């Protein structure tokens, strides 16, 4: 009996030792969040918990999505493959249909003995229409899936709508709309997402886990408890001058903002500057609401003494326009749409540092496989970010970031971002080109693509970009 008890204790001790050798991963996603954050130097938008995460990790100041649209961006991130390789460029639920044998990020962790679960939006969901469902999720990725539904979805009749959405209850997924109820965080979907992940952290703390918290904010409609709106008095919210914004677009190919032309500015017909200002305030409020939920997750890790053995990744699926150039939303190849926040904290690696090296969301899969010492699929198209986590200023990282936009078979383009330049080709240059020098023009005001002085730069970047243009015939 004693021998059997000793053997049992040895097995348990060995199990704990193996679990301790495997770092946990807390994978935190925001929806449509740009870099208007205190953590990224914005003087207005309050993000104390993302600031807190930056202090224990590395902030990536030049992180870019593969496509500024939720569905393909998230599918690319979760597979480590570019949208052209997946043949996914829309919001359709077709990951397994087109790629039946793919091994997703969560699936890789499961294959190596991790518990993998999510709450909320990791793959694409119609937001808010699919809240409370599995959306376009992939069952093979997870051991468990949780789909809370809060008042932002169940009471959406209270949401104020502007422009074309004033009388439209069906299309809140692309809307100028907001609501500031006097509510508790845990009455909202994102508050419930955080609560479920906190519960799972407590339940699974003795085994290696890959837990994904998928927040739906700040995606429209912009809904958060009133206390977060109160952080942003409306008189502090500024909007770009529209005359100047229109001039910004004079030297830009029409295809670059084709979805915004009909009702410019602000995408919808008859949206006033004051209404846009209110939506911008609401967008900032939802950012601070998400930030508060991130703080709850960090508190849970600390409470369970897991900070020293947990890799934390915070990411958004793409950036977002809030009236710059008179534009709103995403789905554009400009910096403001392609760039998004990315913060990674790894125990024992760089802390309170940042890097300006261009990186891509497609790099996250190989990074986590590398950091957790797991065998990843051989066909991944990103690169491990370990060199930048070791030394954010390393000169060995030279890979550019590539973002593509696909509207239809007659309207698509690719954009490459290097340390200094953003260069974009529409229909391989047939529908126009863009070149912006970010050393002098971070807001991408002046298109240098046709400037003879930059002919050599255009040629070099076009040559670099060519190998990434792999749109399949059915999409051309």
From 65, 70, 220, 372, the catalytic residue: 70
DSSP code per residue over 157-175: GG-EEEGGGTT-SS-TTS-
Our answer to whether residue 124 is catalytic in this structure is: yes
Helix (H, G, I), strand (E, B), or coil: what is residue 176?
A: strand
Sort residue 20 into left (φ over 0), alpha (ψ -120 to 50) or beta.
alpha
Helices (H), 234-362: 242-248, 273-303, 335-338
- 456: number of Cβ within 10 Å: 9
Q: Which residues of 204-236 are buried (b: 16+ CB within 10 A; e: fewer)?
A: bbeebbbbbbbbbbbbbbbbbbebbbebbeeee
Half-sphere exposure (CA, 13 Å, Cβ side) for 53? 33
Q: CA-to-CA distance for 273 and 26, rounded, in angstroms?
A: 39
Residue 180: both structure tokens together? 């500031």
Cβ 401 vs Cβ 417: under 8 Å = yes
Helix (H, G, I), strand (E, B), or coil: what is residue 266?
A: coil
Cβ 214 vs Cβ 316: under 8 Å = no
Residue 395 DSSP code: S
Cβ 120 vs Cβ 130: under 8 Å = no
Q: CA-to-CA distance for 353 and 343, rounded, in angstroms?
A: 10
Q: How many residues in total does the chain contain?
A: 476
Peptide bond into 413 cis (omega under 30): no
Residue 213: both structure tokens together? 């918290």
* H helix or E strand, kind and range, residue 58: strand 58-60
Our answer to whether residue 89 is catalytic in this structure is: no
Helix (H, G, I), strand (E, B), or coil: what is residue 313?
A: strand
Q: Which residues of 420-439 are buried (b: 16+ CB within 10 A; e: fewer)?
A: ebbbbbbebeebbbbbbbbe
Residue 134: both structure tokens together? 């599995």
- 305: number of Cβ within 10 Å: 9
Residue 127: both structure tokens together? 């937001």
The β-bridge partners of 343 are 59, 314
Cβ 24 vs Cβ 379: under 8 Å = no
Measure the CA angle with vertex 374, ends 120 and 196; round to 5°: 20
Residue 375 DSSP code: P
From 35, 54, 65, 124, the catalytic residue: 124
Residue whose entry in the numeric block shows the structure tokens 């990020």 = 105
> Which sequence positions are flagged as catalytic?
70, 124
């Amino acid at each position: 009996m004693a021998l059997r008890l000793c053997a049992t204790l040895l097995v348990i001790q060995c199990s704990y030792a193996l679990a301790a050798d495997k770092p946990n991963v807390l994978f935190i996603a925001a929806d449509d969040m740009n870099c208007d954050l205190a953590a990224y130097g914005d003087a207005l938008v309050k993000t104390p918990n993302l600031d807190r995460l930056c202090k224990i990790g590395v902030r990536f100041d030049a992180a870019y999505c593969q496509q500024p649209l939720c569905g393909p961006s998230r599918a690319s991130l979760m597979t480590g493959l570019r949208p052209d390789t997946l043949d996914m460029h829309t919001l359709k639920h077709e990951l397994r249909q087109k790629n039946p044998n793919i091994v997703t990020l969560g699936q890789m962790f499961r294959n190596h003995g991790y518990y993998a679960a999510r709450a909320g939006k990791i793959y694409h969901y119609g937001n808010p229409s699919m809240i409370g469902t599995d959306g376009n999720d992939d069952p093979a990725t997870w051991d468990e899936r949780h789909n809370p539904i809060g008042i932002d979805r169940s009471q959406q009749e209270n949401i104020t709508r502007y422009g074309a959405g004033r009388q439209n209850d069906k299309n809140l997924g692309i809307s100028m709309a907001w609501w500031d109820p006097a509510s508790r965080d845990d009455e909202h979907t994102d508050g419930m997402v955080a609560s479920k992940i906190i519960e799972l952290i407590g339940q699974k703390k003795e085994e290696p886990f890959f837990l994904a918290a998928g927040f739906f904010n700040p995606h429209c409609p912009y809904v958060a408890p009133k206390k977060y709106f109160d952080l942003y008095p409306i008189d502090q919210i500024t909007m770009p001058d529209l005359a100047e914004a229109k001039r910004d677009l004079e030297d830009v190919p029409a295809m670059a903002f084709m979805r915004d032309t009909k009702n410019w500015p602000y995408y919808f017909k008859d949206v006033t500057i004051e209404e846009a200002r209110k939506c911008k305030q609401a967008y900032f409020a939802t950012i601070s609401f998400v930030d508060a939920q991130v703080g709850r997750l960090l508190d849970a890790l600390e409470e369970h003494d897991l900070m020293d053995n947990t890799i934390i990744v915070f990411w958004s699926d793409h950036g977002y326009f809030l009236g710059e150039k008179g534009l709103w939303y995403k789905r554009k190849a400009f910096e403001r749409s392609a760039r998004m926040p990315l913060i990674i904290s790894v125990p024992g690696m760089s802390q309170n540092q940042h890097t300006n090296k261009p990186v891509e969301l497609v790099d996250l899969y190989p990074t986590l496989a590398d950091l957790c010492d797991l065998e990843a699929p051989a066909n991944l198209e990103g690169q491990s970010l370990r060199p930048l986590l070791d030394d954010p200023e390393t000169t060995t990282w030279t890979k550019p970031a590539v973002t593509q936009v696909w509207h239809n078979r007659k309207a698509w383009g690719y954009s490459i971002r290097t340390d200094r330049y953003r260069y974009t080709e529409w229909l391989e240059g047939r529908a126009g080109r863009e070149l912006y020098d970010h050393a002098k023009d971070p807001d991408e005001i002046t298109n240098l693509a046709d400037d003879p002085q930059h002919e050599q730069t255009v040629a070099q970047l076009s040559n670099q970009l060519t190998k990434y243009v792999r749109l399949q015939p059915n999409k051309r």
